[in-house]
Amino acid sequence: MRRVIDALWPAALLALFLGTFRTTGRESARDLASVTCVDLHTSELAALERCLELDPHNIELMTDIADRYVASGATDRAETMYRRALSIDAHDGDVHLRLGELLLARGDGAAARAEGEAALASQPGSLAAERLIERALGRQRHDAPDVSRREGAHR
């Protein structure tokens, strides 16, 4: 009996191991995506976009791609990617901040302020959100027509 147990226990252990770690086809693809996309920050943009196809709800990946679009001057694509991330998680304060910074850099103080306020709602006390709102308000004041000058010119 002892010989039978000694002979069968490795097979039983193997069966337990295989049963525990067996995956479906979809899980295998997800595992492959995580292995392929392990080091997101050093991957090329095209590789990141392929990774996003495999994991279309990965907000961190979307943010990284959008940041790279900003750095390359493709701000329309960056805005689209930030908004896509927010469609998945509307309460992601970091994405609101990044989108707000992009909008402010484009000169849209009102939209940047709205993003800053959304970020502040998600991250109460965030200094970055408060600073974005202040800069956006400054931009809005700068862009607002000076009513007193116009009235004086018409007199």
Q: Is 89 exposed, middle or buried (0-12, 13-18, 19+ CB in 10 A)?
A: middle
* Burial of residue 20, with CB atoms counted within 10 A of its CB: 0-12 exposed, 13-18 middle, 19 or more buried: exposed
State which residues form the domain around 59.
26-74
> pLDDT tens digit string along 68-101?
999 999 999 999 999 999 999 999 999 999 999 9
Question: Are residues 109 and 136 both part of a single domain?
Answer: yes
In a domain, 121, yes or no: yes
Do residues 38 and 62 both lie within one domain? Answer: yes
Token pair 């997101």: residue: 40
Q: Mean pLDDT throughout 121-133?
A: 97
Same domain (yes/no): 94, 138:
yes
Domain count, the chain: 2
151 in any annotated domain: no
Q: Is residue 154 part of a domain?
A: no
Same domain, 63 and 101: no
